Amino acid sequence: MSVENAKSYYLGKDGCKKSNCAEAVAHAFKDKFNMTDEEIALFARWGGGQSPEGQCGSLYAAKVMLEKKYPEQIKVCESVFLSTAGSLKCKDIRSLKKLSCLGCVEKAGEFLDQIDDSGGQIIKDKSDLSGGDKKIIDACGLQCPGPIMLIKQAIDQIQFGETIEIAATDPAFPADVRAWCQSTGNELVNLKLEHGRTIAIIRKKEKLAVAGTPVNGVLSKTIVVFSSDFDKVIASFVIATGAAAMGSKVTMFFTFWGLNVLRRSESVPVKKNLVEQMFGWMMPRGADKLSLSKMNMSGAGTWMIKEIMKKKNISSLPEFMLSAKQSGVRLVACTMSMDLMGIKPEELIEGVEFGGVATYLEQADQGNVNLFI
């Protein structure tokens, strides 16, 4: 198995040259993904958290190879790492201690090993009720809305009539999976509790008319993010990613203090007058600088809840934001508020759109749920 080869390269065993985590994965899957020696040589720079955005080298190597043949599997691969390692970043994975460096190499290798020629992640020798292969998803340890997001990604990759099986330990999962199937029109074939895990089998169905569904068949949700309080922003993104996982078109409209969520963490050289500079100094710069609305205690409360989130395997706010963008959630910055508070477009993160009240109201008119947070 290539996963064993990856471990041998990482450890320098069985005649394999000792390599960093990224190189080990690349060497092991060279033939499967048609990697050249020149391409593999590039992986030498990506070990030890040196890959772009500080990602795990094993994960980044897997994503580079998947991009060549199976780009639709990249999001699934990231979800697997989030559910098992607790983060996509090497530094965070090491601090959480859920997965060792060798464990990351093994996890990336296992994922790549399971990709068949059609690009589907299949675990063999598991049969669904119709006798075919069944996609298996391990969402144990992943908190809401993680399991539902994994279901959505998996369902999108199979054909009508095929099934997936998912195991989860989230206490809300039994109710959530029923609600997800009811909302999306897919069939919940079986739901059982086994050894502390909830196991659900879901069959993909052609979506029938669902109460509240508009003529075009796509539900729409809008969320106005007015606050920059950490807890309120987390709630906003939990709802947004959950709605996207249930097939809704989601628009988040950031206005006034909510714009701080979209600011880059680093200082950006832009021309501002004195008042605009003062606003910039006084407001939090980016998602990592937000404070709790209650019990902040000069930042101690925010630090404590972030630590609890790590231990409970709950995604960080930046990870929720990444998941939202990957799920197609629109992040719209209010241009009037930007002008009022002296925030320039260059200061905002990538992927943000710009609009005014008409942009929001157009989406709100189409939506069946509109929230103000």
* Positions marked catalytic: 144
Q: Which stretches within 157-200 are classed as H helix? A: 173-184
Q: Which of 139, 200, 124 is nearest to 170 (CA)?
A: 139
Buried b / exposed e across 172-199, counting CB within 10 Å, b at 16+? Answer: ebeebbeebbebbebeeeeeeeeeebbe
356 burial via Cβ count (<10 Å: 0-12, 13-18, 19+):
middle
Cα–chain center distance at 97: 20
Q: CB-based contacts of 275: which residues, under 8 Å, 6+ apart?
A: 342
Q: Are 243 and 149 in contact (CB under 8 A)?
A: no
Type and span of the H or E element at 41:
helix 37-42
The CA distance from 289 to 298, in Å, is 12
CB neighbourhood size of 149 (10 A):
24
The CA distance from 321 to 237, in Å, is 7
The CA distance from 48 to 19, in Å, is 11
The CA distance from 26 to 35, in Å, is 8
Q: Which sign does the torsion angle of CA 123, 128, 131, 135 carry?
A: negative
> Could you give the C-alpha distances from 39 to 56, 57, 241, in angstroms and in order?
18, 15, 35
The CA distance from 87 to 93, in Å, is 6
